[in-house]
């Protein structure tokens, strides 16, 4: 009698969602070759191909579509049953998957994720940072972290901290013998460290003052797609930079960077942890939500103090 793995069935659904063995492997936390071998073994046991594979694309066969239509509801029930059992764990364990973007990941790493791991060492946290918004339920994530204004309306949201802001900075040596910009358009007279978005487009620096919105398409000698690299370039006096304040706050406080155009960078929406309603979430899920709410209360108390 042949035996089948629940993980193999989850793998089929992940490939179908992602449309790619590589993306599904990243979601599942295994190598692409291991995933390919698992699917090949399952197809051999079933005696049918579930996927059409080419060098450029992956698509379901007719048998694959039929398989998913019948298996997906059953898998959902099985995972709900497993969640019900895990919710009764005395010691939280398992894996929690979080989708966010790079800057937010840096902001929540220490106060939320590392603190959680200290308290619950039996839980594994899998954080995926990407620039695009995703459906966290369809893509197999437990939580998402985004700006409050980007959280889907059908999700439960917990603010994780105070309002955030962008900031324009330059090094003291760069500003020596240079006139500081007073309004956003003055940046056109300065070399700037440009930023490329995940979709390949160049980011236009955004400003606001007294309800007036301004976008500036700056120019400069270097374009980067990573905030840590851009920070190094600005510290080395390559030009003016535009960051989330949290990425350069320590540099500003230490005097390594000087803030510019502060009146043109008002507060933004705070970060939120968000998640769908679940009837019987695992114990790890529940205590992670509890810690996020604890962090939110601490932040509110700090602001009111």
- Distance, CA of 231 to CA of 242 (rounded, Å): 9
Asked if the model's pLDDT at residue 1 lies above 80, the reply is no
pLDDT digits (tens, 9 = 90+) for 142-163: 999 999 989 999 999 999 877 7
Confidence of residue 140 (pLDDT cuts 50, 70, 90): confident
Of 80, 86, 19, the C-alpha closest to 53 is: 19
All domains of the chain in start order, with CATH = 6-81 (1.10.10.10), 94-162+270-304 (3.40.190.10), 166-264 (3.40.190.290)
Answer whether 229's CB lies under 8 Å from 102's CB.
no
Asked if the model's pLDDT at residue 81 lies above 90, the reply is no
The H or E element containing residue 250 is: helix 245-254
Q: Where are the beta strands (DSSP E) in the chain?
A: 51-53, 58-60, 94-100, 123-129, 143-147, 156-159, 166-170, 193-195, 205-209, 212-216, 222-224, 241-244, 258-260, 271-275
Instruction: Say what the pLDDT of residue 87 is.
Output: 62
Q: Where are the beta strands (DSSP E) in 106-160?
A: 123-129, 143-147, 156-159
Instruction: Say what the pLDDT of residue 209 is.
Output: 85
Total Cβ atoms within 10 A of residue 216? 20
Q: What is the mean pLDDT of residues 195-224?
A: 90
The reply to whether the predicted model has a pTM over 0.75 is no
Instruction: Say what the pLDDT of residue 185 is.
Output: 95
* Alpha-carbon distances, residue 134 vs 139, 152, 155, 295 (angstroms): 7, 10, 13, 25
* Cα-based angle 294, 299, 301 (whole degrees, multiple of 5): 95
Question: What proportion of the chain, given as a percentage, has pLDDT over 90?
Answer: 46
């Amino acid at each position: 009698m042949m035996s089948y793995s629940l993980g193999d069935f989850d793998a089929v659904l992940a490939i179908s969602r992602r449309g790619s063995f590589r993306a599904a492997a990243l979601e599942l936390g295994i190598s692409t070759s291991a995933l390919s071998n698992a699917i090949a073994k399952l197809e051999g046991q079933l005696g049918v191909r579930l996927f059409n594979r080419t060098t450029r694309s992956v698509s379901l066969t007719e048998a694959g579509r039929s398989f998913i239509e019948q298996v997906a509801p059953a898998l959902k029930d099985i995972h709900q049953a497993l969640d019900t059992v895990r919710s009764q764990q005395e010691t939280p364990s398992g894996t929690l998957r979080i989708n966010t973007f790079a800057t937010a990941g840096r902001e929540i790493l220490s106060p939320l994720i590392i603190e959680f791991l200290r308290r619950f060492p039996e839980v594994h946290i899998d954080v995926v940072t990407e620039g695009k918004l995703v459906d966290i339920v369809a893509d197999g994530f437990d939580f998402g972290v985004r700006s409050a204004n980007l959280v889907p309306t059908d999700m439960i949201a917990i603010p994780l901290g105070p309002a955030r802001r962008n900031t324009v900075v330059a090094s003291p040596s760069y500003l020596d013998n240079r006139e500081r910009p007073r309004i956003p358009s003055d940046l056109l007279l300065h070399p700037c460290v440009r930023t490329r978005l995940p979709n390949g487009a160049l980011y236009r620096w955004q400003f606001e003052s007294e309800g007036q919105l301004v976008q500036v398409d700056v120019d400069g000698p270097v374009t980067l797609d990573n905030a840590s690299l851009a920070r190094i370039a600005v510290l080395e006096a390559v030009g003016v930079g535009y960051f989330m304040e949290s990425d350069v706050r320590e540099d500003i406080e230490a005097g390594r960077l000087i803030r510019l155009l502060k009146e043109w960078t008002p507060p933004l929406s705070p970060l939120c942890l968000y998640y769908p309603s679940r009837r019987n979430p695992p114990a790890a899920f529940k205590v992670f939500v509890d810690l996020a709410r604890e962090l939110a209360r601490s932040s509110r108390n700090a602001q009111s103090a």
